Amino acid sequence: MRCPTDGRLRALLDGGDADAEAHLRGCERCRRRLESLRARTHRARVALSALEPTSTPPVEAALEKVWHRAERESGMSEFGRRSLRPYLAAGLVVVAMIAALAISPMRSAAFGWLGIIKVERFEAITVDVSELPFHPANATGERALSRAVLGELHTQNPDSRPQKVGSIQKAGSVMGRQLATAGNRIAGEGLGAVYVTRPERASYTVDLARIQSALDREGAKGVRLPQELDGKTFTLNVPRGAIAVYGRDGQHEIVFAQGASPWITIPQGVNMDYVRQDILQIPGLPKDLVRQLQEVRDWKHTLVVPIPRGGSSRHVSINGSDGLLISDRTGELNVVLWQRDGQLYALGGHLSSDQALASARSVRYP
């Protein structure tokens, strides 16, 4: 037999080839070729293993999501599946609380529901979105939530697009105060863009009949909300914020955001402690979610930050202030949230957790 081709030798590494093997026994040169191919195959395998995902999404949750989508696309009832019913009964209100924190403009209402008066500290709760009847990041879910639970939300400033300004000094002028600036390490990346968000004032009047009707219509009969909420108006005020983006290559940007704490006006006659307890006692709520919310002690001054499973968080100290470090599941994207003298700060990007913390601690205050 003539010397086999590289292709045949390569195939030999993955399975038997009696002729080629017989040839190798008598051919030193081909044995060396085979070993060379084997070593290269091994090196490629080692290199490719760097792309191994750090975790695989839980298969049961993934299956549930696919079923959910399949049922929607095939025209079945979105809520017809056995395993979603308990979660629907779980109460759209708490789902709204979580989703709304993440989704503007509904976060306004969520602050109201949570009864945050002023943010002084942070707590993270882990959210398994597969347990929620609506996908919080899904536009359809957002509309459904808005329609079913929140009703009309009246915002004073419907145009919430941030305004681009030329510099941090100009952002300070717009906001009427001097701003904190990033330390040398971040500033050295080069300032890419600065934005000022518009102040937002949103009011929300509870219409219990409407909410109850929506809950009943969606199959959540039996869920009853506190009567004292009916007709009450909550108002949320979100002051202007500034966002500075550092880095110019589009791949290694770092965002530094700051703004005064939002606050809400709770109407007279509403005891938010009781309301909160009532909401958390709605039958069927995911127990883990309720437990995490109940563990938030100073809940009127605590911003509850929902993070998906797979992400992680821990409390940190930023120059003596309480803060929260949040990492995505790869650990490659990190964000630090902290407050100082009534101002909230967020700094994050493609940084290691240590770099993010060091950067947050190097911020210079006016």
Where do contacts with another protein occur on this chain (CB under 8 A)?
5-12, 14-15, 37, 40-41, 43-45, 47-48, 50-53, 56-57, 59, 62-63, 65-67, 69-70, 73-74, 101-102, 129, 135-138, 243, 245, 250-255, 305-311, 326, 328-330, 332-333, 335, 348-352
Q: Rounded to the nearest whole angstrom, what is the least distance from the CB of residue 122 to another protein in the complex?
A: 13
Which CB sits closer to another protein, 275 or 304? 304
Q: Is 5 helix (H, G, I), strand (E, B) or coil?
A: coil
Q: Rounded to the nearest whole angstrom, what is the least distance from the CB of residue 206 to another protein in the complex?
A: 25
Residue linked to tokens 């359809």: 140
Which CB sits closer to another protein, 235 or 327? 327
Other CB atoms closer than 10 Å to residue 212's CB: what's the count?
Answer: 16
Residue linked to tokens 């968080």: 313
Q: Count Cβ neighbours within 10 Å for each residue of 16-38 and write b for 16 or more, e otherwise.
A: ebeebeebbeebeebeebbeebe
Distance CA 338, CA 150 (A): 29
What are the strands of the beta sheet with 154-155, ordered from one edge?
154-155, 200-205, 233-238, 263-265
Which CB sits closer to another protein, 210 or 350? 350
Q: Rounded to the nearest whole angstrom, what is the least distance from the CB of residue 226 to another protein in the complex?
A: 28
Which CB sits closer to another protein, 17 or 207? 17
Strands, E assignment, the chain:
121-127, 154-155, 163-165, 191-197, 200-205, 233-238, 241-246, 254-260, 263-265, 302-308, 312-318, 321-327, 334-340, 343-349
Which CB sits closer to another protein, 10 or 118? 10
Which CB sits closer to another protein, 138 or 233? 138
Q: Rounded to the nearest whole angstrom, what is the least distance from the CB of residue 150 to another protein in the complex?
A: 18
Beta-strand pair 121-127/302-308: parallel
331 DSSP β-pair partners:
none
Q: Rounded to the nearest whole angstrom, what is the least distance from the CB of residue 158 to another protein in the complex?
A: 20
Q: Rounded to the nearest whole angstrom, what is the least distance from the CB of residue 235 to another protein in the complex?
A: 24
